[in-house]
Structure 1
């Protein structure tokens, strides 16, 4: 990719991300209905994912390149996730249909268990690799609640220190993934906990965060998750003036 094409893509990325911010402001002001908002948001998000992925590929071809930082790896992963949803993964997951190569055999279950163990082992030591491993699990079982939940959480966690465009992409991917996990298993506390944190940390939505965190707390989440929740609930309460 030549530098001029890369510059054009960077300009398009800036335009798309600015459009997403404007769209959020219009929604908050009540200037757009939910149907139009969803259509525009999905269109902008999917194209932004495509552009960010193209930019990452173009930068990788530049001379004397250095290893990509973790946040750039996350940007590519998030872009792939959004594109996958656009290509039909979400439809398959919501309908329960099997994707090509899936079966109900024990081999799939064994593969899932192996991948899950690998992902758990590297959740925080190599979150980008863990995200990719959880994605492999979801190719085998699009409704795997733990994979949906922890892939989304890791994307959001790493993106906190990333650029604005990566944060926006992460917010869209994480919110969608956690929402899907809750649809599949409403009583799984981790998904509610992490959705509350994502809403507060990435979206600045204290009220929406409180709703999910209250649900989370009522479900007695695991001790390692409870630590995150206790801390964030205090911050949310302060933000709401409680």
Structure 2
């Protein structure tokens, strides 16, 4: 896929893959698809959908896309012509966001935060044992599926920087993913604790709200989950390629909550970076 490929082709690929994921869920629920085949196909379609979403994000940001990997895209011949955009359901979005968050290289979360730094955060770089370097090592392990080793490094980062919002978010999401896969409320609750801390440290960090909403949803708390998705929508860029899917999951959370959400927190107001002092030399 070329970096100048029209947006419409990327959107068609995204729609095809999301439809395919929905079909997989239906076939698996009906007993027409075995567990092993379902997991293998779900992982494949989810990874490819995430790759397309990343390319759409690169188009919006103007950054060059990551190098293509085999299997990242589907042929346009496989795209259903004239198909209406179908929003991803809760389980599907969970898988897609997990894959996007664990993208190779800097990772989705690092990409989202790399251009902004709070006044109390240091500049990137330093020796291999620096929190920044440990965080990247943790992300690499996370990407490779070595969740236990990644969690240890996230903990090492947090021991040095207890308010590192990326480490808090990713540590919580490791637990959230593990809890969902194991159907463990205890792991989900532990992950929620980290995500709670992340949203308190930096309420304007959109991804922490998305993951917190997904964990709350898995815990059967759709009203609170909906509030987190609403916060994400108020914070994330209007051009974010996941916006429509988050809107869809917000709709689903609202339905599961009985048609209305509880009183949600107000969107955070970004804290301005203090201006450099001016010289008073006469």
More helix by share: 1
Structure-1-length-normalised TM-score: 0.48
- Rg comparison, structure with higher value: 2
Structure-2-length-normalised TM-score: 0.42
